[in-house]
Structure 1
Amino acid sequence: MTQTARLPNPDALSREAAPAAAFFVPLAVLGLLLPSYSLLAVNQHLLLAVNVLALNFCLGLGGQASLAQGAFCGMGAYLSALTVSAWPEGAAILLPIIVAVTGALISYPMEALGEGFLAMATLGISLIFTNVVHSLPELTGGGEGMVLHEPIALPIIGALQGDRLHYFLLLALLAVGVYLYVCMRGSRLGRALMACREDSLAAAACGVSRPRVRAMAFGLGAALSAVAGALYAHYAGFISPNQFDLHLSLKALLFLVIGGPGRLYPPLLAVLLLETALSEAQILGEARTLAHGLLLAAALLFDPERRLPGLESLVPRTLRRRIS
């Protein structure tokens, strides 16, 4: 049986119009009202929100845990930095396709490892990416980073520079990601993914190819992270492997678990509200990592019945029995 990403019916899309407006309209107004210097931190939160949404394609819909979103975001940043000066229009088109295909090709064979090893395999991807960047200083700048001397210029929009312009570009990318998520969730492909998440054996008995449908979701999530990384690279004007290391992947996973895998807006709100609050609490310093852990514990205590697809297998079976 083949699964297609056919669009859901118009009624299903219209039901999402009100929540989307309630989420995006205040953010658009906020982008117009905030002073430019305040948008620097907000843009970093939007970058994280896009990566949380990208992870939701894999984990929320397909139940496939991933610790590689930071690596895919970094791939987009470095590929864009290396190619955009010579071919800006082509890089903008080919970059998400290249990373999507890479993500899909990585995901497909990982299904043979079994549920308990998927997260560990993606952890390896994140570590390999960081090591490759460090080992090619002539090309990537290595650990010292890479300076992007000229902002990217695209037709109609022109040079991509300025805090406010990048705020709305990242917000637009988030809106596109939300639309794709809604379309996929209501499509045959989305239903196949959710069937694999709930009961892979039953899905296989119905003719669903779990490696194939999960590879498509993994690739789309990788492409979304790559575009976000490319935008942020040209916004910041400087990239280094530390910006896209395992820490970014773990934070994306953290906020997705806090908001709930498979839910659309709660994880995004968790990023924008909680990260803003923590960034303002400068007095916490390094204790903000502890605050992240406390937020996760509070979310699990508040909703102990929540499903964590793709992550239950990382918990020993005997411990799961005691918890239940």
Structure 2
Amino acid sequence: MPAQPKAIKRAASLGLKHCALLVLTLAVLGPFVPDYELLGLNQHLLLALNVLALNFCLGLGGQASLAQGAFCGLGAYFSVLAHQAWPEASPLILACVALSAWGIGFGLSYPMEKLGEGFLAMATLGLSLIFTNLAVSLSSITGGPDGMLVTTPLSILGLNLRGDIAHYYVFLALLAGGLYLFLALRHSRLGRALLACKSDPMAAAACGIRRPAVRSLSFGLGAALSALAGAVYAPYGGFISPGEFDLELSLKTLLYLVIGGPGNPVRPILAVLGLESLLSHAHFLGDTRTLFHGLLLGAALLAPVAWKRLRKK
């Protein structure tokens, strides 16, 4: 057997073991986390899911996106409004949420890819701002800036999903599924085409790879995962508002992916769980947490350059 397929299989197996170890560790620790800490941990898992979703876009396809907060919010509001009409149809609603978000993501990415680099980032920024403005303006539907109460829980396998620990394991199951899909895609033929488009677009085009279609598929998967995370989170808190899914969530998602490294499935999630847990206990920072996030992003961007210079010396 050629060396290259063996190396690919070895890398896929190693990545799968790391992801499985992370998920199993979180699954075992879940029952031992105090109830008052589970709320914060579930919020960290929501952010981790959005980071993983952005990894589909930036880590595989090299597409910068500032719309993960908007996709998450779209999933949350769509799920809440649909459950008000069909409270027992959670599986169907979640499937529609994922499919709709994938379609929006694909429809947004495909034409922007034909225009060139940079246009997609601006389009996703516009989508994020448009979503926030619509959620605030359509007060008769969304509750406006005051938000809306969520009284209908998710119903999975005939059981209503309630409580911190139940939602913790649903978030964890969604994270495990997202990690498996990410690894399967990265080590597939489509994943290699995505990495080729990311590293050398001209060479990929010369090999017959349709860059807009390939990258749009991956972008749609990231949008779908963010929307599913929002759909699961909405009934958990019992309340949603536009401020929970604004541009700040998208920027934090980008921050932690840069810190952990685009393309790596485990390190960004560890960065979220570790740093967000520390920040949640740093009450003395107050409103300066945003500044702290900015400093973290700057350090993450400068660290590789500084490390290369140190190695040269």
Q: Is the 8 A contact 2:16 2:183 kept in 1?
A: no
Per-residue CA deviation, residues 263-286 of structure 1 (Å, 9 max, x unaligned), is 111111111000110111101111
CA distance in 1, matches of 2:123, 2:187: 29
Match of 1:95 in 2: 97
Specify the SS of the correspondent of 2:118.
helix
Could you say which residue in structure 2 is the equivalent of 1:31? 30
- Separation in structure 2 between the aligned mates of residue 58 and residue 102 of structure 1, nearest angstrom: 14
Matches within 5 A, 1:182-197: 182-197=183-198
Match of 2:294 in 1: 293
Structure having the higher helix fraction is: 2
CA shift, 1:18, in A, is 2.5
CA distance in 1, matches of 2:302, 2:222: 29
CA distance in 2, matches of 1:297, 1:201: 31
Query: In 1, are the aligned partners of 2:44 and 2:273 still within 8 Å (CA)?
Result: yes
- Aligned match of 1:72: 71
SS in 2 for 1:263: coil
1:117-138 CA distances to partner (integer Å, 9 max, x unpaired)? 2211110010111111122111
SS in 2 for 1:304: helix
Tell me how far apart the structure 1 counterparts of residues 9 and 298 of structure 2 sit (CA, whole Å). Answer: 39
Q: Tell me if structure 1 keeps the 8 A contact 2:151–2:235.
A: no
Deviates more, 1:13-22 or 1:169-178: 13-22
1-structure distance, mates of 2:63, 2:56: 9
Secondary structure of the 1:115 match is coil
Structure 2: where are the runs of 5+ without partners? 1-6, 308-313
Please name the residue that 2:217 is paired with.
Answer: 216
Contact 2:154 2:232 in 1 (8 A): no
Secondary structure (helix, strand or coil) at the match of 1:303 reads helix
Residues 71-96 of structure 1: CA deviation (Å, up to 9, x unaligned): 00001000000112313332122110
In structure 1, the partner of 2:4 is: none
Distance 1:263 1:10 in 2: 16
Shift of residue 150, structure 1, vs aligned partner: 2.5
Paired residue secondary structure (2:276) = helix
Tell me, in whole angstroms, the C-alpha distance in 2 between the residues paired with 1:140 and 1:263: 36
TM-score (norm 1): 0.88
Q: CA deviation at 1:29?
A: 1.9
- Give the equivalent residue in structure 2 for 1:310: none
Partner of 2:49: 50
Please state whether the residue corresponding to 2:75 is helix, strand or coil. Answer: helix
RMSD: 1.7
Moved over 4 A (4+): 8-13
Task: State the one-letter code of the partner of 2:25.
Answer: P
2:232 counterpart residue number:
231
Q: Distance in 1 between matches of 2:143 and 2:51?
A: 28
Query: In the superposition, relative to structure 1, how do residues 12 and 266 fare at CA in structure 2: closer, same or farther (>3 Å)?
Result: closer
1:179 aligned residue = 180
Of stretches 83-92 and 166-175 in structure 1, the one that deviates more from structure 2 is 83-92
- Which position in structure 2 is the counterpart of 1:5? none
Q: CA deviation at 1:12?
A: 5.3
SS in 2 for 1:91: helix
- Normalising by structure 2, we get a TM-score of 0.91
Q: Which residue of 1 aligns with 2:151?
A: 149
Q: Structure 1 residue 108 and structure 2 residue 114: aligned?
A: no
1:202-259 per-position Cα deviation (integer Å, ceiling 9, x unaligned): 1111111111011100110000000100010010111111110101000000111111
Looking at structure 2, the residues matched to 100 and 116 of structure 1 have their Cα atoms a distance apart, in angstroms, of 21
Q: For structure 1, which runs of at least 5 residues remain unmatched after alignment?
A: 1-7, 307-324
Paired residue type of 2:229: A
Map Cα deviations across residues 64-115 of structure 1 (whole Å, 9 max, x no partner). Answer: 1000000000010000001123133321221101111111111111113321
For 1:80 and 1:198, the matched residues in 2 are separated by 37
Task: Write the deviation string for residues 130-181 of structure 1: whole angstroms up to 9, x where unpaired.
Answer: 111122111111111111122122225x111100111111111111110000
